[in-house]
Structure 1
Amino acid sequence: MKKELLLVSLASMLMLSSCQVATMAVEPSFKEQAEEVPVAGRKAFKPNGNFAIGTYTVANVNRGWPSVGGFAVAGYENIKASQKHQFSLQDGKGHEWYVFGASKLHEKTLKSNNGISIAVAPNLEYYASHFTSPQSGQWHLLTTDPGQYLRRKEFEGELSNGEVSIKISPVYKAEGKKLPSDDILGYEFMQANERVAAVQVINNGKVWLKPGLSEDKRMVLTGAIASLLLYDKLTDVSRELSLK
């Protein structure tokens, strides 16, 4: 019996040693000069508790909003969604901002206050979040995801306050691997064709920021990044991935 247990243990150790935890590929020149911000306390299989992104703390995570009222994003009011969450971002200096997010939208059409409407494609997954910066105003994040690597060009993502627009793009490639993953491993943030941030959403998460960002821009990007780290996709609840 002891011999059998020993053999099983050895086999398990060999299997683990042959596996490499997936790491999102980051554009080399950006990674070389970017600041890698530590993510501490985030649990890959149950990302609902408090965790830290550098000097910021993601706290008061609530799946489902405690307050009554519709969700609004980019001028579209009273959006109904089956997945909702909110959390606060604390900077350690006594400042706190609340972020509200929603996905799995029920609407077939989003209608804005100014009469503009857009059709919600049934084969795309929408995610939206918003928060307010005391310096740069209200920011909205919106992504539309076709859910397949082969349709990745249909992905659209943007973080904007109406004056500044930051493009969000998905990353499917893992470091050291030739073939892309079937799932999104993370996201890149581009402003005026320049990378300003990247986030790996698999495993425990990783974050890279452009050095020299203003304090407000760091807060805005960290809020958006935390929102994506808490976003449960339809087919992937932030599960831990391993590559053989």
Structure 2
Amino acid sequence: MIRVLVADDEAMIRAGVRAILTTDPDVEVVAEAADGRAAVEAARRHRPDVALLDIRMPAVDGLAAAEELRRVAPSVAVLMLTTFGEDEYIDRALTGGAAGFRLKSGDPRELLAAVHAGADGAAFLSPKVARRVIAAYAGARTGRAAAARARIAVLTDRERDVLTLLAGGLSNAAIARRLFLVEGTVKAYVSAILARLRVRNRVQAALVAHEAGLTGDEPAGPAAR
């Protein structure tokens, strides 16, 4: 069962999100909050697997709450839920530790996909947001590619294999199956990769991988080792 916290200052929005989530028998809404401060406290009490945070909330906004959750409840996957798609929000959300960004105007099925992805340790971006991130990445690639390649140079061959699959959007379980490893070993590799690359989460690690060109070729299996 995936435990979810929903934080939005509008009660009708919270009710709508809850209604969508309850259509999935594998998802349970364990707490709701009307502002960022209450969301952080609810996460401390209920320890959800996923926190859905609206960006614009009173007292403490969703972006600040996401940053605080990365400190006090790092195991919680934070997904930003908003009507806004401006680059400034996207950038701050991802650099602040969010595992995904979903626009409220998107398909309700995206919400369920995002929750499952976050709970499984993967990242999720709404299509419109993904296009913005890719465009920004493409525009800055020339200047950042060399720096990114230098960052991944410290990784072992197996860590590069894991990073390649992580950048392709695979979950820990899927990476484990692809590389014939146990999931716990993959989690250890991912933690090591985040530390070596000096990034906060999988989204940031994936962006470094893309900047370095570490995508496209399939990692070698055990027979090639």
Q: Name which one, 1 or 2, has greater alpha-carbon Rg.
A: 1
Bigger fraction of residues in strand:
1
Q: Which has the higher helix share?
A: 2
TM-score after normalising by structure 1: 0.25
TM-score by length of 2: 0.26
